[in-house]
Structure 1
């Protein structure tokens, strides 16, 4: 009798990889008899996964497979976010292959068009959550097309139930990305031991501080000498604001600044793990930062009445600045003021992420095994 076949879909942006790959390694450990394959959309995905599988001694155990329309991008060698094959044609051509597997695990929404449009595939699909926090699109009808959803925390399960997802199809596993190598082993980026601040503006204009204040904040951080600075905006900001590349390039030579718009470190958790102070607006990266409570300052250039909404709850975890000229003083006092926010930060991280340990990936793997049965 052939062992069950499990397919992981690595078809979207590289930011999705850390939310899915830890389950591959955990599943290989939890169920040595399974036939595991990883479908990849580009040579960037293939290069990253092949390196990690080799390091984990799984190169012969887990098969890498190229999707129809696979893109070979030899110029991209550092884990850059690559262009992707046209999604819907690629999924249509992939459907026949997935009929021959017993479970399909994905982290991105687009792949869920397959079970939504082809109901006979639904029992195979398992959706792993990516990201965490209050700004997730929970009402997307594609979510209901997956037979099981793996979510980080009970709060997230409750919110999905509120929008109509049956409770029995939602499994709370913890924050899978917590066990990924970037968060677990942050790099040393600077020669000295000055505190490190990370500025991570969101990529969507209506949620971001970049368009109103971004250039001035970069100039301010470049001119000061008290803090080392990581300038690592959301991976997709450069798509919407291409001028960000020029702005960061103008200061990249400074020894106390580390700038990045392209490498895999943008999404693997490295910068959230390496920073001592978070400066941002509404990016969900702050949730990962708060896995280890540290000072935060939030930017509100539009002067949103954030206490009256449900999607800015993490702004209770630090000082909120609604005037640019107030920012230097807010940064200067952030470390001294941190004790007043610590309890809120711990409670928020627990509510949003659940168990933020490597065990989350193994819990997700066991949920996949249970679904196969």
Structure 2
């Protein structure tokens, strides 16, 4: 080539929950195209440490340059991949922008970084947005999404939702659900001393979508008091921002030997808790789709008694029993396994429609899409 090899920059500037959506694509790209100059811009020692370890395990540390974004922070006491405090994003982006001018493509998983192409049009042909989360509750109408040159989407159904909003078809590429290729999805180390079935309770963080505010504390108390299930309490990572008392509630619950509670560890976001559970209990988190990659029983919580069948954003509630009374929970949990066969077909259809291709093939497809998008 008459010029230097193309440079692809990946932005790891947000919460750690975004990392598993982006890292599998970076790894697949570095494996598929070793001549490319691949950069991982990180915002903290937590992000850097996780990525450095995985690159070393994959044998590609020499192919990816780890770089520290302006405002990078060191947190030597955070050693479990905890979500660290982050600097204000807009000043970080303003200072980072000149350093991204040499990149042929810039890949991000969060919308805040799309302020750069939105405000600086000369960046627009560089920015590629990959989806984080999936299913009917994605925030597709945020105007920043239109600033991305191309969006990598999990499924044809997801693509249709963007076409209906007026997005140009040539700016939408279906590649599958990249997070399902993440290396952290392996079953976590043994959490409990016995072999009772495992239930995971994963309430959403947004008040209007969450069961936490109406029922959460009562559900935790009930799960501590019962003895049929081992319990993983793994709320959305951002719930603690909205309810500072969450940490104390879960810490108290975790004193019970059959309860494992987490608000900080990377297992909160890497999918391993979804892999470890036998039953999903929750409301509207898209993690249920990751859980259903391997179909299992679900119970959904509807404290606001929404007419969910009349909306477009609760489609996955067809994958399990929906309860709108708190006192119905014990019986719902008791019969969930017996009722599962009636929901399994719907679960498989929901995952196929929402996530498309899963596993390593999804990350590989995203990597090939990026290679094809490199300006010639």
TM class by smaller structure: over 0.9
1:86 aligned partner: 88
The Cα offsets for residues 103-144 of structure 1, whole Å up to 9 and x where unpaired, read as: 110000000010111111111111110010111111111111
1:192 aligned partner: 194
1:185 to partner: Cα distance: 3.9
CA distance in 2 between counterparts of 1:146 and 1:186 reads 36
Contact 1:187 1:274 in 2 (8 A): no
The Cα offsets for residues 57-92 of structure 1, whole Å up to 9 and x where unpaired, read as: 122221100011111122222111111121111101
Give the SS at the match of 2:124: helix
Contact 2:187 2:273 in 1 (8 A): no
Contact 2:280 2:297 in 1 (8 A): yes
2:335 aligned partner: 333
TM-score by length of 2: 0.98
Q: Unaligned stretches of 5+ in structure 1?
A: none
Contact 1:201 1:208 in 2 (8 A): yes
After superposition, the Cα gap between the structure-2 partners of 1:161 and 1:184, relative to the gap in structure 1 and judged at 3 Å, is farther
Contact 1:149 1:171 in 2 (8 A): yes
1:209 to partner: Cα distance: 0.8
Select the residue among 99, 102, 105 that pairs with 2:101. Answer: 99
Ranges of 4+ aligned residues in structure 1 off by more than 3 Å: 184-187
| Number of residue pairs aligned between Structure 1 and Structure 2 | 373
The Cα offsets for residues 268-310 of structure 1, whole Å up to 9 and x where unpaired, read as: 0010000000000111111111111100000011111111111
- Root-mean-square deviation (CA), in Å? 1.0
1:123 aligned partner: 125
1:359 aligned partner: 361
CA distance in 2 between counterparts of 1:260 and 1:184 reads 18
1:30 aligned partner: 32
CA distance in 1 between counterparts of 2:270 and 2:203 reads 17
1:7 aligned partner: 9
Select the residue among 7, 16, 28 that pairs with 2:18. Answer: 16
Contact 1:198 1:279 in 2 (8 A): yes
1:54 to partner: Cα distance: 1.3
The Cα offsets for residues 298-326 of structure 1, whole Å up to 9 and x where unpaired, read as: 00111111111111111111101111111
The Cα offsets for residues 253-281 of structure 1, whole Å up to 9 and x where unpaired, read as: 22211110000000000100000000001
Matches within 5 A, 1:64-75: 64-75=66-77
1:147 aligned partner: 149
CA distance in 1 between counterparts of 2:62 and 2:32 reads 17
CA distance in 1 between counterparts of 2:128 and 2:232 reads 35
TM-score by length of 1: 0.98
CA distance in 1 between counterparts of 2:287 and 2:49 reads 25
Matched, 1:167 2:163: no
Select the residue among 231, 250, 273 that pairs with 2:233. Answer: 231
Give the SS at the match of 1:160: helix
1:189 to partner: Cα distance: 1.6
The Cα offsets for residues 176-233 of structure 1, whole Å up to 9 and x where unpaired, read as: 0111123244443222211100000111111111111111111111111111100000
Q: Unaligned stretches of 5+ in structure 2?
A: none
After superposition, the Cα gap between the structure-2 partners of 1:47 and 1:8, relative to the gap in structure 1 and judged at 3 Å, is same
CA distance in 1 between counterparts of 2:39 and 2:312 reads 39
1:111 aligned partner: 113
Contact 1:182 1:273 in 2 (8 A): no
Select the residue among 350, 353, 356 that pairs with 2:352. Answer: 350
CA distance in 1 between counterparts of 2:149 and 2:118 reads 11
Matched, 1:281 2:277: no
Give the SS at the match of 1:255: coil
CA distance in 2 between counterparts of 1:93 and 1:246 reads 38
Contact 2:237 2:264 in 1 (8 A): yes
2:41 aligned partner: 39
1:100 to partner: Cα distance: 0.7
